[in-house]
Amino acid sequence: MNVTQDYLDYNTTNIFDKNQTMSDYPKIIMSSFVFIICCMGVPLNGIVIWLLGIQIKRNPFTVLILNLAIADFGFLIFMMIIIIMLMIINCTQNFKYFIQPGIPLKIFITLFSATYINGLFLLTAISIDRCVAVLFPIWHRCSRPKYLSSVVCVFLWIFSFFLIAICNIIQYLFLYNEICNFHLVVSAVLCLPLITTSTVILFFKICLKSKQIKRGRLLVMILITLLCFLILTLPLYIYVFTTHFLNKRYLFDILELNFYLAPSASLNSCVNPVVYFLVGRKKRSWTRESIKVIFQRVFREDEAAEI
């Protein structure tokens, strides 16, 4: 059997093998739950893309939020496709005789990984942007390059796909399966410390602010988004960091962890539009407002001036 066949067999059979330590029922329940979450998150992120991409005038910050919504939208779409393909492969014994699932499944897994990693990079860029706005407001408003956000987004998209491509090439050529989670290690080393530091800075900035001074909606929204990310995804990165750098071994393997943490990653991609809506709407208001008005309120660029 040649290298290509070995590579495809590894990426299809090991993902959903009945001989794995997990039983089929937890897999089915967890996959169904993740699929439901994705079905809710896709239209929510689609609304954000439609509003920020077409309806609302863009500014440097909304460019970052728009790209984050696109990454989350793609991540959820590819997650749904992968779940459907894995269920078909698992439930239909003769599927492989009609369609070779290895190549299309690997393509969708690559796109899934790239959009997930890019979402983390974009969230890191957003957190850094808000910290700069808090710590250096004058420079942020007056001296920041006009197209910096667009350049950063293009770079992060290219870098995300490049990182996943490098992992796939190494895994394909050398059948080195340990490299398959290398992108998680990179994101854990680069993103997690920056996001955690930014969250702490924004938290103290908001909490130490006088109650008489109105807290900016944008800062509150970003802080809640970052806190949700840390709560939902921190266990995965603790696992990745300890296994790769401290050589710690657990009673469960990465396959089981991926299945049980898939809902966390999906929820993290779904929660952002809900946060935008809840923070943007007026409190104690009985009048109905359009989503466009709510989003315009929360994404006003002059929020930084209130700091």
> Taking 60 as the threshold, does the pLDDT of residue 299 lie above it?
yes
Distance, in Å, from the CA atom of 107 to the CA atom of 298, rounded to the nearest integer, reads: 37
How high is the pLDDT of residue 281? 78
Main-chain phi, psi angles of 145, to 5 degrees:
-55, 140
Q: Are 137 and 304 in contact (CB under 8 A)?
A: yes
**Of 39, 107, 99, which is closest to residue 73 (Cα–Cα)?**
39
How high is the pLDDT of residue 263? 83
Let me know if residue 291 belongs to a domain. Answer: yes
How high is the pLDDT of residue 247? 59
Q: Rounded to the nearest 10 degrees, what angle do helices 148-174 and 102-135 cross at? A: 140
Distance, in Å, from the CA atom of 38 to the CA atom of 125, rounded to the nearest integer, reads: 24
- pTM across the whole model: 0.82
Let me know if residue 11 belongs to a domain. Answer: yes
> Taking 70 as the threshold, does the pLDDT of residue 284 lie above it?
no
Cα of first residue to Cα of last residue in the chain, in angstroms, is 64
User: Which CATH number does the domain housing residue 174 bear?
Assistant: 1.20.1070.10
pLDDT in tens, 47-91: 999 999 888 888 888 999 999 999 999 999 999 998 888 777 777
**How confident is residue 304, by pLDDT bands cut at 50, 70 and 90?**
very low
SS (H, E, C) the chain: CCHHHHHHHHHHHCCCCCCCCCCHHHHHHHHHHHHHHHHHHHHHHHHHHHHHHHHCCCCHHHHHHHHHHHHHHHHHHHHHHHHHHHHHHHHCCCHHHHCCCHHHHHHHHHHHHHHHHHHHHHHHHHHHHHHHHHHCHHHHHHCCCCCHHHHHHHHHHHHHHHHHHHHHHHHHHHCCHHHHHHHHHHHHHHHHHHHHHHHHHHHHHHHCCCCCCCCCHHHHHHHHHHHHHHHHHHHHHHHHHHHHHCCCCCCCCHHHHHHHHHHHHHHHHHHHHHHHHHHHCCCCCCCCCCHHHHHHHHCCHHHHHHC
Instruction: Give the type of residue at 297.
Output: R
Let me know if residue 306 belongs to a domain. Answer: no
- 296 is in which domain, residue-wise? 3-300
Let me know if residue 57 belongs to a domain. Answer: yes
**Of 235, 224, 218, 305, which is closest to residue 271 (Cα–Cα)?**
224
Let me know if residue 88 belongs to a domain. Answer: yes
Let me know if residue 307 belongs to a domain. Answer: no
Distance, in Å, from the CA atom of 134 to the CA atom of 140, rounded to the nearest integer, reads: 9
Let me know if residue 84 belongs to a domain. Answer: yes
How high is the pLDDT of residue 65? 94
How high is the pLDDT of residue 173? 73
Domain count of the fold of the chain: 1
Lowest model confidence (mean pLDDT) among 6-15, 187-196, 226-235: 6-15
**How confident is residue 160, by pLDDT bands cut at 50, 70 and 90?**
very high
How high is the pLDDT of residue 244? 61
Residue 4 tokens, joined: 């290509």
Burial of 57 (0-12, 13-18, 19+ CB in 10 A): exposed
Distance, in Å, from the CA atom of 304 to the CA atom of 133, rounded to the nearest integer, reads: 6
Lowest model confidence (mean pLDDT) among 128-137, 149-158, 197-206, 285-294: 285-294
How high is the pLDDT of residue 213? 45
How high is the pLDDT of residue 215? 59
Distance, in Å, from the CA atom of 272 to the CA atom of 51, rounded to the nearest integer, reads: 14
pLDDT in tens, 20-38: 444 567 777 878 888 999 9
Let me know if residue 305 belongs to a domain. Answer: no
Lowest model confidence (mean pLDDT) among 151-155, 251-255, 296-300: 251-255
pLDDT in tens, 235-274: 777 776 666 666 555 544 545 555 656 788 889 999 999 9
9 or 42: whose pLDDT is higher?
42
